[in-house]
Structure 1
Amino acid sequence: MSNHGGVSTLTKRFVLFAFFATFVVLAATARAQIPAPGMIALTGARVIDGTGAAPIEQATVVVTNGRITAIGSSSTVTPPAGATVINVAGKTIIPGLINSHAHIDPDISVNPGPYRDEMVRRLKTYAIYGVTSIMTLGFETYDEPEGFYLRDTQRLGIGPVATDAPRLYAAGRPILFRPGPTGTETADDARIDVQRHVPLRADFIKLHLAGVPTDLKPDVVAAAIDESHKHNMSTAVHIVYLKDAKTAIAGGVDVIAHSVRDMDIDAATIAEMKRRNVALIPTLVRDRSVFIYENLPDFFKDPFFLRGMQAYKHEVDVLSDPATQQRYRTNAGIQASKPQLAQGIKNLKPLIDAGITIAMGSDSGSIPDRNLGRWVGYNEHAELEMLVQAGMTPMQALVSATSTAARVMKIDGAGSLQTGKWADLVVLNANPLTDIKNTRQIDSVYIGGRKVNMAGVAGTN
């Protein structure tokens, strides 16, 4: 055995193995970016804690080393000695928004790779819009390695998204989607592909049913879900059609990742969702994004939208082209999304009334070379507005985007403003309970008690 300089090859290998093992363990267990050291106290604001409880007026929120250590009315909670006091009188504090159905795919039509910088930019754009945690429900084959790298390094408190970016949770590539199934896959194929996600420590498993003959068969869907549950991974399914929702529900799926958009959802399906505690992510804004660019949308001039232009510019340029708009007006597939959206909205109200668990998600950032205009950050606020238009109260919409999203996606330590939770919060200049569009009146964003650099991506605001 060689021994150069007193350090054996075996020893070197052991050190490298120990380092790698430590990296994997820490990445699997940590859920935090770099928290802000020290103590701050935000005083004087209205607090909506994300649980559905009545707001706390004239509140004080104390944050120590990134976590909430006290919260309540100013008559019961006072800033501790040594705390940096931040006066936010007249403002409203809500939990940071959680996007239960997000993506950070690069635009491969203009970016041949490497992809990391663009994916980082998309993550940081989410943050300046007050989105402080996201679940990426599926990578593509080409960006999966970078996605898990960003997630794992973030959890170690290192790398480009250790600050000023949302907490990143990730499903891998959808099961047997390479890029799509052939219809010949077996239950064993599904179990093997789920097992591929185990060493990646995927936070969720995504399946895809498109209502076509090449879809995964019901026994394959059930096998993928069963194998996921054996490894303590929850499952979500892409659907359009009621028949596919029924297949996934019967197979034991945990989350329906889009609205049913082909027909009225029947009482039996709603009852089965309730019995099995199946959650829904409506993604209404996703369907609007398919056809809205047949004309130049007014929000292209909205200062709130424009703060994301560093990430949005290429797509805005393409969508502003009259030729693109004409193509949208004449493409039958694009126009089909109009009745699909109307059906999805119609189906949401009976689900709300039945008490089905509904988590906010937008499907933002998904394959932008093909799906233009799914704006990371901005579309989460559009989704909140559409949820209210579909029948939710502003409070219900906020809960769906905070504590419910955290529960459905198994995001620990976030989603509500309570003692012991991470100080992931958004300070607003207006009350979203009087108008849900007031979530866009962002004064500042904090992740782990650390104030997000709002100019780091946007260059403005």
Structure 2
Amino acid sequence: MFINHSICQYIFIVFLLCFSSCKNTTESKIFVDKQNSENQSIKLSDSLKPYIKYHEDFMAFTNATIVDGTGKAIKQNQTVIIENGIFKEVGDNADIIIPRNAKTINLKGKTIIPGIVGMHNHLHIPRFPDVGDVAAKLYLASGVTTIQTCGAASPYKELELSKRIEKGEQIGPDIIPSAPFITGQGGNPNMIIPRDTEHLKDTMQYWLDQGVKWFKVYRNTNPDDLKTIIEIAHKNGAKVRGHLCSVTFEEATKLGIDAIEHGLNSTSDFRSNKDYGQCNGGREYMDELIIDDPDVKRLQQLMIDNKVLLTSTLSIYEASIPNRAYADKRTIKAMSPFLRNQYNETRISFDRKVKDVLRENRLKLIMQFEYQYYKMGGLLCAGVDAGRHVLPGFGDQRNYQLLIEAGFSTEETIQIMTGNGAKALGRNDIGTIQIDKRANFVILDGNLDKDATVIKNTETVFKEGVGYNPKKILEGITGKFGIE
């Protein structure tokens, strides 16, 4: 029988395309199955069991209000199904069929948000280079399921804690660790101060070999060192972020920095009498700057065009404002006696200055700078930068309230604190409540959209499908944060 040669070629090509499609589908299924298998294979230590509220293969949550972390509108009357630590179904109650073997939880009157991705979340505070064990518990109990530490004071302990949590041996958020801070002459002596370029390169390579992917430069870093740091980091697939002063935002952006911390409070671009490469000059701009001034917008647009992440740390700045610096009952309860006394002494001093509105006005200016950056299309994230009486996790929750105060909607604020953080970390498996992503989410008791304080009502925190009891976690750390 004679068959046209062109037809044979066509049939062969169709066969190859079908085979390739089937192969890709199979490979995708294998990847998902492998991911599920890995989630199932993580054996949690017995020491974690007192904190676990739910640990089921299948769970269904009905009648939920969902803020999904994408910035899209809040959805009511939703059903969420998780299987082996992965979101499998998310949609209207009427559209989702609940598996018979699923444990079902009715979330009427409650809000679901993604697990918070903290982007400036240290495991140290001033005077205490390692508070990792208690801080990790505070973070998780507050709904923070992933943190980037943004500079390490005890880098080896940080790396070890990260591994222990990953193995299921200890409770806490997933930790993306950092190298020690890098600064310049005149900077903090407990940080890395490069002797020369070779010393800087060798030091960075050492930490890259430890698996670190983030470097934090501090206030006194000189422009030449920053250029070298960025080049080495990027060559090795790592990123650089900075709490700047000697280098301006504009200079750092043009050098290729990936992230800048604290927003307007750390910019030196508008300082009077500032010398190149020096952390000096006047800060009158903090009281005089007009945020929608063309020069401010030009700087922000430059950062946006170069994809520079801006990290908001409003809660730690608020802690320096006399008429705002009040610790809540949860904070007082978790503090060590030393930190409690320190707070009480500070509070006595602040009570004498409670009518001083200078820093209050500066906070509003910082808020405006961040709001404008986001609205112009910039990637804005958030982190607690714990210190003073601002504790890990609790400070992240306070950030939520302050971002709402700054003018962001509920949807925008949750996106800043979850989905944007995941995007900054290059993680497409966390940060939003969407099918096939890790089941990292928080159940809040109440309607978050109507009451910003509901962010504190963490009823259950899920990390990879395991539900943890925040109340139990907090009971175990009473008086332990900041033990000398």
- Could you state the TM-score of these two structures normalised by the residue count of structure 2? 0.74
Deviation at 1:436, TM superposition (A): 2.7
Q: Do the aligned partners of residues 407 and 295 (structure 1) sit closer, same or farther apart at CA in structure 2, a change above 3 Å counting?
A: closer
* 2:136 maps to 1:123: yes
* 2:318 maps to 1:288: yes
Residue equivalent to 2:341: 317
Aligned with 2:253 (options 249, 263, 281): 249
For structure 1, list consecutive stretches of 5 or more residues without a partner in the other structure.
1-29, 210-214, 365-370
Residue equivalent to 2:8: none
Deviation at 1:96, TM superposition (A): 1.2
Q: Do the aligned partners of residues 205 and 129 (structure 1) sit closer, same or farther apart at CA in structure 2, a change above 3 Å counting?
A: same
Q: Do the aligned partners of residues 277 and 97 (structure 1) sit closer, same or farther apart at CA in structure 2, a change above 3 Å counting?
A: same
Deviation at 1:402, TM superposition (A): 0.8
Residues 192-249 of structure 1, C-alpha deviation per residue, up to 9 Å, x if partnerless? 322122122113111112xxxxx222121011011111111122111358x5222221
Deviation at 1:270, TM superposition (A): 1.0
Cα distance in structure 2, aligned partners of 1:100 and 1:76: 36
Residue equivalent to 1:237: 242
Q: Do the aligned partners of residues 385 and 31 (structure 1) sit closer, same or farther apart at CA in structure 2, a change above 3 Å counting?
A: farther
Cα distance in structure 1, aligned partners of 2:319 and 2:235: 36
Cα distance in structure 1, aligned partners of 2:195 and 2:360: 33
Residue equivalent to 2:213: 203
Cα distance in structure 1, aligned partners of 2:101 and 2:368: 53
Cα distance in structure 2, aligned partners of 1:158 and 1:430: 30
1:391-406 superposed matches below 5 A: 391-406=407-422
8 Å Cα contact 2:144/2:173 also seen in 1? yes
Cα distance in structure 2, aligned partners of 1:47 and 1:313: 39
Aligned with 1:274 (options 304, 308, 319): 304
Structure number with larger C-alpha Rg: 2
Aligned with 1:259 (options 247, 259, 263): 263
Q: Counterpart amino acid of 1:272? A: L
| SS of corresponding position for 1:61 | strand
Residue equivalent to 1:408: 424
Residue equivalent to 1:344: 366
8 Å Cα contact 2:148/2:175 also seen in 1? yes
Please say which of residues 352-361 and 433-442 is displaced more in the overlay. 433-442
Alignment identity in percent?
20
Q: Counterpart amino acid of 1:400? A: I
Deviation at 1:443, TM superposition (A): 2.1
Deviation at 1:181, TM superposition (A): 6.1
Q: Counterpart amino acid of 1:230? A: K
Cα distance in structure 1, aligned partners of 2:430 and 2:155: 25
Deviation at 1:59, TM superposition (A): 1.3
8 Å Cα contact 1:295/1:325 also seen in 2? no
Deviation at 1:296, TM superposition (A): 7.0
| SS of corresponding position for 1:290 | coil
8 Å Cα contact 2:118/2:382 also seen in 1? yes
Q: Do the aligned partners of residues 277 and 52 (structure 1) sit closer, same or farther apart at CA in structure 2, a change above 3 Å counting?
A: same
Deviation at 1:310, TM superposition (A): 3.0
Residue equivalent to 1:9: none
Q: Counterpart amino acid of 1:195? A: Q
* 2:453 maps to 1:453: no
Residue equivalent to 1:95: 114
Q: Which runs of 4+ in 1 moved over 6 A?
A: 30-33
| SS of corresponding position for 2:146 | strand
Cα distance in structure 1, aligned partners of 2:169 and 2:249: 39
| SS of corresponding position for 1:197 | helix
Q: Do the aligned partners of residues 228 and 49 (structure 1) sit closer, same or farther apart at CA in structure 2, a change above 3 Å counting?
A: same
Residues 12-37 of structure 1, C-alpha deviation per residue, up to 9 Å, x if partnerless? xxxxxxxxxxxxxxxxxx99976845
1:33-182 superposed matches below 5 A: 36-105=55-124, 108=127, 118-140=131-153, 143-155=154-166, 157-161=167-171, 165-176=172-183, 178-180=189-191
- Could you state the TM-score of these two structures normalised by the residue count of structure 1? 0.78
Aligned with 1:300 (options 312, 324, 328): 328
